Amino acid sequence: MAAQTYAVEFDGYWREPNKSGVPAQSGIYCVYVCTHDKEAGTVSLRKLIYIGESEDVRTRLSDHEKQQDWEMQLKSDEQLCYSFGAVQEISRVRCEAAMIFEHKPPENTECVNDFPFDQTTMDLSGKTALLHTSFTVYRT
């Protein structure tokens, strides 16, 4: 496997009550803690807590086994919020691993301290709050 560069554009943000709006596509998703100001119509992201991948992100998020773990990260005025980046199936696991290794979300356990792929550069665009938008990780 050779060095690779991936460009991923993220879309979002979907709050927990609206997560059925996340695309039913192959890609990477980020789970955040956020607050919602109904009057201003704004969402403020507080913390990135998980990064995952799926062939169908909408279905994956609809019944995720870590949902309760994520909810335990919330304070009373907070809720979960999601973003999505489309990634082809062949590169999805590698992109997810690179993002986890770079960002080390507290609810991820795999790829937090090791990266099993060759040099991988990620260029992120779009809805990238709390994410590093350009980084390179190396096999450990």
- For the purposes of burial, counting CB atoms within 10 Å of the CB of 37, is it exposed (0-12), middle (13-18) or buried (19 or more)? exposed
pLDDT at 1: 64
Whether the link from the prior residue into 13 is cis, omega within 30° of 0, is yes
Q: What is the pTM of this model?
A: 0.96
Determine the Cα–Cα distance for residues 19 and 43; give it in Å rounded to an integer.
14
**Strand ranges across the sheet with 120-126:** 42-54, 27-37, 79-86, 4-15, 120-126, 134-137
Residue range 80-109, pLDDT digits in tens: 999 999 999 999 999 999 999 999 999 999
pLDDT band for position 71 (50/70/90)?
Answer: very high
Task: State phi, psi for 102 to the nearest 5 degrees.
Answer: -75, -40
For the segment(s) 4-137, the CATH number from 3.40.50, 1.10.10, 1.10.3470, 3.40.1440 is 3.40.1440
Domain-wise residue ranges, the chain: 4-137
